[in-house]
Chain A
Amino acid sequence: MKKVIVTAEILSQEQLAPEVHKVELLAPAIAAVAQPGQFVTVAVTEQAAPLLRRPFGIADANKETGTITLIYRVLGPATHLLVQLLPHATVSVMGPLGHGFNLNGKKPLLVGGGMGLAPLHFLAKSFASPVAVLMGGKTQAELFWQSLFVGQTQYLTTDDGTLGTHGTVLALLPKLLAEGYDSIYVCGPIPMMKAVVAEVNKTKLPCQVSLEKYMGCGLGACLSCSCQGIGKRLKVCTDGPVFESGEVVEW
């Protein structure tokens, strides 16, 4: 699949939660071919700083409207600039990048936390029928994702018990894994993903994980994001970000 760089117009910006925003971009060449689990990198300014493009998992892509959606947390200099951009402003978008999810699950269970739920949003919509999504957050406020996953079967956990089951996703996962799911898809903070993989491994169910590592180029050249696979080095940006959970031996 050919990667492209496009000047993409911002169609809308919407605040979803404190410091979390959704931006819709007009990028038909990327929307036409993007697969769930893939990402784009964005340069928000033509100035030398911020210097590197920033990676964002694609939260949605619509071939008909030619749009892609990114959901981002305002964290550093690039996202602080991005959040100030109004409709009609443009940014440089490169993509689609990386290797996305394998959609072969007949009864998939998606497990996510934090901004890892953004790529899972695109994934959930890519299956023919509604799927089950297990999402965890520290508090109720972190589970604003509920409204984005409307129509999917949702299982919620919060660390403080303010919404759903009290605890992490591990509080519900063992029970769910006994309910006949044939494929597990995970994206979230690394400690969460490791714990989920350890639990799923007890069942031998196939499990895909989407990793995140600091990237320089997004093209497999700089080796900022490399990790250890079985007998070979892997790059999160081109061999991943989605891997079979057994493929990566050192995260």
Chain B
Amino acid sequence: MVDTLYEGRLAVDIGKLHMRTPITTASGTFGFGLEFTDFLDLEKLGAITVKGTTLKPRSGNKGQRVVETPAGILNCVGLENPGVEYFLSTTLPKLRQYNVPVIVNMDGDSPEEYGQLAELLNVDGVDALEINISCPNVAQGGLAFGTCPDAAAEVVQAVKAKSKKVIITKLSPNVTDIVEIAKAVEVAGSDAVSLINTLLGMKIDVEKQAPVLGNIMGGLSGPAIHPVAVRMVYQVAQAIKLPIIGMGGIMCAEDALEFFLAGATAVAIGTGNFRNPALAETISKDLLAYLDKHGIESINDIRGKALPR
């Protein structure tokens, strides 16, 4: 099939997941996509990555959930979501009206639960699963699986055993060596990795002399974390063969290009969606302009250009 969107020059493949442009949305920053249709054309995205989904509905954390910090935000939403059954019965049929791949971010308390979720998501209209083993805001599961190579591998195997979809594993930056985790999930059978999730941080109100966030600590995202994310993609790209979806603080095409040059195949727009809800669409046009300016045919031709030769 020949892509007509962006002359096919932005098309990339994440395993069997074909993206007509290398832009998706970071889970939790784009709802289910339908919230943004006044501002952009969902069909001009490479894929939509939806809000983290769990077996049972979750109401998330109490107290203040978001606070702005220098060039970033901290959040402790805590995976509030209506649960996988609601997603399948109510949200997915609406998303299927759009011709765009859907990546479902999923989170569980045990490898078995991740497996159950993967099985329930073996339906038409779901194109890939993003295993969230890196959420810093929930007590059980989440980050606990993302900081130990063996535990991460166990979750990936549980999902792989039950799923027919492309498996992307989302890595946490809150580790001593992200490369070690990336290698473990590659061996376990993940089809791709996405990085980075948020960096654990906190903010204190000096007048109240107390933490601002209800959950005390939260995940830092936004431009403040972009250099950290680029560095980690650069390291992981040299250590594994899997395609990488890079993310962290992308506010413009230049920010995205750094990820491609560091070895990413695609990128995700996160906190930038809050500032400019059209960003995930407009960034593709700017990528095309970059290719034209440099006389480059395809976005695939710049991947990893900044890596050591």
Contacts and interface: CB of A to CB of B under 8 A. Distances in A.
Interface stretch (A11-19, A46-54, A171-179, A201-209): A46-54
Interface size class of B (residues with CB under 8 A): 20 to 34
A217 interface: yes
A223 B77 contact: yes
A5 B278 contact: yes
Nearest to B33: A221
Contacts of B31: 219-222
A216 B73 contact: yes
Given A5-B278, A233-B80, A51 B71 contact: yes
Shortest 6 CB-CB distances between A and B: which pairs?
A221-B31, A224-B66, A217-B274, A3-B38, A48-B223, A221-B35
Most buried by B among A48, A220, A228, A233: A48
Given A215-B66, A217-B35, A221-B36, 14 more contacts: A3-B39, A5-B276, A51-B223, A52-B68, A52-B274, A94-B277, A217-B277, A220-B31, A221-B274, A222-B75, A223-B65, A223-B77, A224-B66, A224-B77
Given A48-B71, A48-B251, A53-B275, A214 B36 contact: no
Contacts of A238: 35
Interface of A: 2-5, 43, 48-53, 94, 214-217, 219-226, 228, 233, 238
Given A3-B38, A223-B77, A52 B70 contact: no
Contacts of A224: 65-66, 75, 77
B271 interface: yes
A215 B71 CA distance: 16
Contacts of A226: 60, 65, 80
B29 interface: yes
A2 B36 CA distance: 11
21 contacts: A3-B39, A5-B276, A5-B278, A51-B274, A53-B275, A214-B66, A216-B66, A216-B274, A217-B35, A217-B277, A219-B36, A220-B35, A222-B28, A222-B29, A222-B31, A223-B28, A223-B65, A223-B80, A225-B65, A226-B60, A238-B35
A223 B38 CA distance: 19
A228 B71 contact: no
B64 interface: yes
Interface centre among A2, A217, A222, A238 (most CB of B within 10 A): A222
Contacts of B73: 51-52, 216
B273 interface: yes
Contact of A50 (B36, B38, B68, B75): B68
A143 to B, nearest CB: 25
> Which secondary structure dominates chain A's binding surface?
loop
B238 interface: no
A221 B40 CA distance: 14
B236 to A, nearest CB: 25
B149 interface: no
A181 B78 CA distance: 42
Interface of B: 28-31, 35-36, 38-39, 51, 59-60, 64-68, 70-73, 75, 77, 80, 82, 222-223, 251, 271, 273-278
Contact of B271 (A4, A51, A215): A51
A217 B65 contact: no
Contacts of B251: 48
Nearest to A47: B71
A42 B145 CA distance: 39
A5 B35 contact: no
Contacts of A223: 28, 51, 60, 65, 77, 80
A248 B125 CA distance: 34
A15 to B, nearest CB: 25
A51 B71 CA distance: 6
Question: Which interface residue of A2, A3, A53, A224 has the most chain B CB atoms within 10 A?
Answer: A224
A215 B275 CA distance: 12
Contact of B30 (A2, A52, A221, A225): A221
B32 to A, nearest CB: 8
A198 B121 CA distance: 45
Contacts of B72: 51
Given A51-B73, A219-B31, A223-B65, A233 B39 contact: no
A48 B222 CA distance: 9
Contact of B38 (A4, A51, A214): A4
A223 B76 CA distance: 10
Contacts of B66: 214-216, 222, 224
B274 A49 contact: no
Contacts of B82: 233
